[in-house]
Structure 1
Amino acid sequence: MSIPEEARLHIVVVGAGLGGIAAAISCATSGHTVEVIEQARELAEVGAGLQITPNASRLLRHWQLPDSIWEAAAEPTMVTVHRYSGEILAHEDEFDKKIQAKYGAPFVDLHRVDLQQALFARAKDLGVVFHFSQRVESVESETTTVRTVNGSQYSGDLIIAADGLWSRCRESLLGRRDEPLPTGDLAYRIVLTADQVADPELRALVENPQVHFWAGPSAHAVSYSLRAGKMFNVVLLVPDNLPAGVSRQAGSVEEMRQLFANWDPILNKFLSYVDTVDKWKLMHHAEMDRWVNEASNMVFLGDACHPMLPYLAQGANSSLEDGAVLGLLLGKMKDKSQLPGILRLYESLRKSRGEAIVREAFKQRHDFHMPDGEEQIKRDQVFLSQLGKEIKGAFPSRWTCPEVQPWLYGYDAVAEVEKAVEENPALFFIE
């Protein structure tokens, strides 16, 4: 995209997570100069699975990511919700075809590393410069400068704060420490290879991509395939018993198995193949009053401003949306004087949606973590009354809920920006 020379920004993105690289791609595509600073030494070859829903998969196509990303994906053909003991509560066949038909973009399961590396390669192709081993020490809004612990400094016209849950940029905006708060849950994240799974029934589940949920008392589990059925991802969400101040720790396989001992035998068979596991404390933040600073030279996206619990798998998807919308709006600039107005338009387009998804994820946690009892019996009646039928009305699994799914998956960042530009002609008009 070509924008006038007088509108070209020098943008410093803080954080090379998915949201930061997405913003870098979107801003570079719009004609701006972008550099990214990241505290890690390199983009590490670690991580687990991600569910990339149509609201984000359409962006991966829009950014022209290489074909390798689609070859590394698994597209689930069905979604099933089980009661923790194994009985089926909800089931949707031909999920891949239905999603494509409804939203014109796929629902795919990817390894985080595959997505991050594809985004990274695309950003470098677009001329984005990355600086690793740069831990932020301070952010100066007077000079639009980020200073790092090793004495480097990066200045520009705009700082994009994409530095996640423990954001130093957020602390700079608020003028105080702002530790994330525990949610009361932790996650066990497990990745198995198909070769590790000897049982032929289980191997078939791995090699024929599908998504399974198990909803149980105070906990739930989700499983899905990665890398075209060559890997398998299991996430177990359970009450948090990590010490205060510890966000990640090696877990006990025995303790994990004990927590799920009376759950579905199929889930337990998968857990029998696990030999090491980590525990991740699930954290969140209160809503921020604003996502743009007073000087209009720092703007927030992703976990830095709306960290999400993983119950709707929208953390990564929503960060990609943020980056896309911000970069697309900045591509409409004709003069740098428009920057404050454009940043506030970005905030108005993204803040209410991001925070609504955060709230919806908490509701999904409630519906999947019910203890046995009267409320759970009512929930299961709603599930079973729709089994084998076209679902109507509010539904306890938002993954196939006809009220929530279209709102989540039908979002089109490119169309939203075009509509916002049409509705705000004065903002984009320069005499």
Structure 2
Amino acid sequence: MAAPPLPSQSRPHPKSPVRIDVIIVGAGLAGLAAAISIAQSGHAVTVFEAAKQLSEIGAGLQLTPNCTRILQQWNLSARLWASGAEPTSLTVHRCTGKVLAQEDDFNKNIRAKYGAPFLDMHRIDLQQALYERACELGVQFRMNQRVQSIDFYLDRPELTTESGTQAQADLIVAGDGLWSACRSSFLGKTLPPLPTGDLAYRIVLRLDQIDSEDLRDWVKNPTCHFWIGPGAHAVGYSLRNGDMYNIVLLVPDNLPPGVRRQSGSVEEMEALFHGWDPILSRFLSLVSEVDKWKLMHLDVLDAWVNDKSNFVMIGDSCHPMLPYLAQGANSAIEDGAVLGLLLGFMKSKAQLPKALKLYEKLRKARGDAIVKETFKQRTDFHMPDGPEQEKRDELFLSQLGKEVEVPFPSRWTCPQVQPWLYGYDAYGEVQDVIEREKPFEEAQPEKSPTASACSATASKQMAGEKQRQVGVW
């Protein structure tokens, strides 16, 4: 069933007494999240987007509590919450279908632990809800404007689009994704993403495409399933309140160098999963066409903020993530929320460098660490058959039917990794650092010891002179 609207206790969003002009490049999830958070902080926001309109691109997203906790604060439409599917269980299967791990009442357990839900949604539903909210907050959108370059060395940074449009702002935020042109301007060179060695088949099936009653029931009653096997894995979950089924297949990359996306062969796809769980095979047999997406990453960047403190990166432009922990979208929304919150605490434009450096301090270490953790998850899910795989499966099975209390091959339920990911509180972290470090408090100028001594001497001399005048001496 769909998750109902979940208005948690409203938390104050700071509003700066000064107003800066902010340009955000990209109307993806990172850019829209930043637009909402920055606009709520009282600043003027314009978003430049390459597409002519937001279209139904992409497929499913798994929104974990570290993200839904933020979304609850933004007064998004009830339609968004109704479009979700809340999985009641999470199951890890061996490629054959054998259950290795299962958590029943997953939805209830997640809410109890983290105070926010785990929701499966279609990307466009979230993107549209964020866009509508940004418009309500007065954010301006410039569509069909692909940014080509940025000049950081004017009084205010200036971007230029491929159509020749130029625009300046106090701050430019790069939310233009994996192939970011903004990042190239920042670095002074093109930094192409690197292949990870994997690609993804992304599949969405509508309920009316599914004839078998048992598969229809599987879709209508949302659960989350992983199938892990040598060199590959698959994940399946319901969308739109059980009206759609999303499947992602992660397999070795065989796309030509330089090709990001290509139409795939359904026959090739099915052959890769021949002999896997019959349930998965039956779903795949319903697919009529499919695309292949090369999975890419970046080397860790030295900085996300430029030296002039008029440019900052968010989301995939600075920390693209393998989808193996479903944190790409969640982390991008964290970035946007934290950036906007910090800009709300500024008391003057001169404090913009402090806000950006604090954003980088709070976000970069976490973003880089999640990227590394996704590669570890790939290692555990794609393990070739053999002694290590058998040892992994023994560990899985040793915890089956129990509350997991040991480091676990599935980080989705690992008692160390899950709380680190899902327990993250963007509002709480920003408030804590503001109270602890008081970064935006203006320091009072200190008097020099010499000046203080001179002042004290002068005061004594004046007092003595007054005393002499009244005949005390």
- Into which bin does the TM-score normalised by the smaller protein fall? over 0.9
> Cα RMSD between the aligned structures?
1.0
User: Is the CA contact 1:338–1:428 (under 8 Å) kept in the aligned structure 2?
Assistant: no
Deviations 1:209-266 (A, max 9, x none): 0000000000000000000000000000000000001000000000000000111110
SS in structure 1 at match of 2:164: coil
TM-score, normalised by the number of residues in structure 1 = 0.98
Question: 2 CA distance for matches of 1:154 and 1:379?
Answer: 55
Is 1:302 matched up with 2:315? yes
The aligned residue for residue 85 of structure 1 is 96
Amino acid at match of 2:115: G
- 1:26-425 to structure 2, matched below 5 A, reads 26-143=37-154, 144-425=157-438
How far the C-alpha of 1:173 sits from its partner, in A, is: 1.2
SS in structure 2 at match of 1:154: strand
Amino acid at match of 1:109: D
TM-score, normalised by the number of residues in structure 2 = 0.90
User: Is the CA contact 1:171–1:177 (under 8 Å) kept in the aligned structure 2?
Assistant: yes
SS in structure 2 at match of 1:303: helix
Question: 2 CA distance for matches of 1:420 and 1:141?
Answer: 29
Amino acid at match of 2:224: V
Amino acid at match of 2:179: W
Question: 2 CA distance for matches of 1:240 and 1:12?
Answer: 36
Question: 1 CA distance for matches of 2:201 and 2:439?
Answer: 50
User: Is the CA contact 1:333–1:428 (under 8 Å) kept in the aligned structure 2?
Assistant: no
How far the C-alpha of 1:427 sits from its partner, in A, is: 3.3
> After the TM superposition, which of the residue ranges 226-235 and 135-144 deviates more from structure 2?
135-144
Question: 2 CA distance for matches of 1:298 and 1:377?
Answer: 49
User: Is the CA contact 1:78–1:94 (under 8 Å) kept in the aligned structure 2?
Assistant: yes
Amino acid at match of 2:198: D
Deviations 1:5-59 (A, max 9, x none): 5x21100001110000000000000100000001111111221000000000011
For structure 2, list consecutive stretches of 5 or more residues without a partner in the other structure.
Answer: 1-12, 445-473
SS in structure 2 at match of 1:36: strand
Q: Which of these two proteins has the greater Rg computed from alpha carbons?
A: 2
Question: 2 CA distance for matches of 1:65 and 1:167?
Answer: 28
Amino acid at match of 2:91: T
SS in structure 1 at match of 2:440: helix
The 1:177–1:185 alpha-carbon spacing in structure 2 relative to 1, beyond 3 Å, is same
Runs of 4+ in 1 over 6 A off after TM superposition: none
Amino acid at match of 1:67: A
Deviations 1:386-427 (A, max 9, x none): 000110120000111111000000000000000011122143
> After the TM superposition, which of the residue ranges 192-201 and 327-336 deviates more from structure 2?
192-201
User: Is the CA contact 2:15–2:40 (under 8 Å) kept in the aligned structure 1?
Assistant: no
Question: 2 CA distance for matches of 1:294 and 1:193?
Answer: 49
User: Is the CA contact 1:9–1:157 (under 8 Å) kept in the aligned structure 2?
Assistant: yes
User: Is the CA contact 2:25–2:49 (under 8 Å) kept in the aligned structure 1?
Assistant: yes
SS in structure 2 at match of 1:348: helix
SS in structure 1 at match of 2:352: helix
Deviations 1:246-295 (A, max 9, x none): 00000000000000011111000000100000000000000100000010
How far the C-alpha of 1:135 sits from its partner, in A, is: 1.0
How far the C-alpha of 1:379 sits from its partner, in A, is: 0.3
The 1:335–1:199 alpha-carbon spacing in structure 2 relative to 1, beyond 3 Å, is same
How far the C-alpha of 1:428 sits from its partner, in A, is: 3.4
SS in structure 1 at match of 2:72: helix
Question: 1 CA distance for matches of 2:255 and 2:370?
Answer: 26
User: Is the CA contact 1:306–1:355 (under 8 Å) kept in the aligned structure 2?
Assistant: yes
Identical pairs, percent: 62
SS in structure 2 at match of 1:92: strand
Deviations 1:354-393 (A, max 9, x none): 0100000000000000111011000001000000011012
User: Is the CA contact 2:345–2:440 (under 8 Å) kept in the aligned structure 1?
Assistant: no
The 1:69–1:430 alpha-carbon spacing in structure 2 relative to 1, beyond 3 Å, is farther
1:15 to 11, 19, 26: 26
Amino acid at match of 2:251: V
Deviations 1:89-137 (A, max 9, x none): 0000000000000000000000000000000000000000011111111
Number of equivalent positions: 430
